[in-house]
């Protein structure tokens, strides 16, 4: 569905569910980097009152979109905002509600609170919208390959065998990934025959979003707490079978972050690393264990501290955080390690 269709269907369902009528006021707010269409306002009419909302509309809201929504709303605090989407997963609806952000699904599910108006509908069936990316390049295997060439663009000119080894994927995938990159305009060829990345920022942004929603969940081994208080003394933990990710990586790469959550990437099995670091499974634990998928010997690191994950991966984890200080550190990493590649 297009943005206009999503808005109209959502408003129809809102009236059916609550009796509150609404109309669209075409307006003047520009699209923000292709992420959100912010070109309409809606007026809700109830009793003898009318209240106007600035609208953010998107086909599906994912976790990776929340920081952008929060930042936009924070910048424009003078506006009444309403997020309208065809589909919002239940956990994200709860997060929007917790943040005091009004939302409306195309099904009529909503949380809208303003002055003396309060609407909350949460029982309408909705079909999740799954906008699958075309081709193998955007599945977990392709995202592993993309991390390697985005972190080190010189790898584009390595042999297919070297790229497969660095990415931790099967050799047979590499040719089709190159074909898709060329088809989508992400790589071009010099007159010398060497390859280079085109539209790198666009490709990097797309990778960050899909890494967060598609690949990262498959790498997670669990959350834990530690017998040895690794949380408060994390810099002094024995460093041999894991790499620092997330907030610790942000601190080691920039020196400007005091981690509240510890992320470790390892090639060891969960049982082995649990024994080695004396970790205890805990769904509310501050330690997150992740799987290393790339080959550390084949991928050029380029970071200040070789005990962290590659800067691109640290950037992806911090840039999609709901914590504003993590997003600030992500921008530091981007400027220092990624923009000049």
Spatial CA neighbour of 157 closest among 203, 190, 205, 204: 190
Question: Would you say residue 36 has pLDDT above 80?
Answer: no
The answer to whether the beta carbons of residues 142 and 199 sit under 8 Å apart is: no
Kind of pairing between the strands at 81-87 and 102-105: parallel
Query: pLDDT confidence of 32, banded at 50, 70, 90?
Result: very low
The answer to whether the beta carbons of residues 50 and 149 sit under 8 Å apart is: no
Query: pLDDT confidence of 127, banded at 50, 70, 90?
Result: low
In the numeric block, the tokens 């390697």 are attached to 148
pLDDT reported for residue 193: 85
Spatial CA neighbour of 84 closest among 63, 101, 64: 101
The answer to whether the beta carbons of residues 160 and 171 sit under 8 Å apart is: yes
Counting residues of the chain whose pLDDT is more than 90, the rounded percentage is 52
Question: Would you say residue 293 has pLDDT above 60?
Answer: yes
Task: Domain ranges for the chain, please list them.
Answer: 3-121, 136-199, 201-338
Burial class (CB in 10 A: 0-12, 13-18, 19+), 298: middle
Query: pLDDT confidence of 29, banded at 50, 70, 90?
Result: very low
Give the DSSP letter string of 65-124. Answer: GHHHHHHHHHHTTTS-EEEEEEE--HHHHHHHHHTT-EEEETTS-EEEEETTEEEEE---
* Mean pLDDT on 41-69: 86
How many beta carbons lie within 10 A of that of residue 248, not counting itself? 24
Query: pLDDT confidence of 305, banded at 50, 70, 90?
Result: low
The answer to whether the beta carbons of residues 250 and 330 sit under 8 Å apart is: yes
In the numeric block, the tokens 């550390």 are attached to 296
Can you give the pTM of this predicted structure? Answer: 0.72
CATH 1.10.10.10 fits 136-199, yes or no: yes
In this structure, CATH architecture of domain 201-338:
2-Layer Sandwich (3.30)
| Dihedrals phi, psi of 72, to nearest 5 degrees | -65, -45
Give the DSSP letter string of 194-211. Answer: -EEESSHHHHHHHHHHHI
Residues in the chain: 341
The strand pairing partners of 220, in sequence order, are 290
């Amino acid at each position: 569905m297009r943005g206009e269709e999503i808005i109209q269907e959502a408003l129809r369902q809102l009236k059916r569910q609550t009796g509150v009528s609404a109309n669209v006021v075409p307006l003047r707010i520009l699209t923000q980097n292709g992420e959100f269409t912010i070109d309409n306002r809606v007026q809700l009419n109830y009793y003898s009152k009318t209240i106007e909302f600035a609208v953010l509309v998107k086909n599906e809201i994912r976790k990776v979109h929340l920081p952008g929504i929060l930042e936009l709303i924070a910048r424009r605090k003078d506006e009444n905002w309403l997020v309208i989407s065809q589909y919002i997963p239940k956990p994200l609806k709860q997060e929007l509600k917790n943040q005091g952000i009004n939302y409306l699904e195309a099904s009529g599910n909503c949380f809208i609170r303003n002055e003396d108006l309060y609407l909350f509908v949460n029982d309408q069936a909705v079909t999740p919208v799954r906008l699958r990316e075309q081709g193998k390049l955007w599945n977990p295997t392709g995202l592993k390959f993309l991390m390697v060439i985005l972190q080190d663009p010189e790898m584009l000119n390595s042999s297919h065998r070297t790229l497969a080894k660095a990415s931790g994927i099967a050799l047979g995938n590499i040719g089709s990934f190159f074909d898709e990159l060329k088809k989508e305009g992400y790589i071009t060829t010099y007159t010398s025959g060497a390859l280079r990345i085109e539209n790198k920022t666009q490709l990097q942004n797309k990778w960050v979003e899909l890494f967060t929603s598609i690949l990262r969940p498959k790498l997670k081994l669990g959350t834990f707490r530690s017998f040895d208080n690794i949380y408060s003394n994390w810099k002094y933990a024995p460093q041999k079978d894991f790499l620092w990710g997330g907030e610790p990586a942000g601190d080691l790469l920039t020196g400007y972050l005091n981690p509240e959550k510890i992320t470790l990437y390892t090639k060891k099995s969960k049982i082995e690393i649990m024994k080695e670091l004396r970790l205890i499974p805990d769904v509310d634990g501050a330690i997150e264990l992740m799987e290393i998928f790339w080959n550390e010997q084949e991928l050029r690191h380029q970071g200040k501290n070789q005990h962290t994950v590659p800067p691109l991966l640290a950037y992806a984890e911090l840039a999609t955080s709901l914590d504003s200080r993590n997003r600030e550190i992500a921008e530091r990493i981007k400027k220092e390690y990624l923009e000049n590649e």
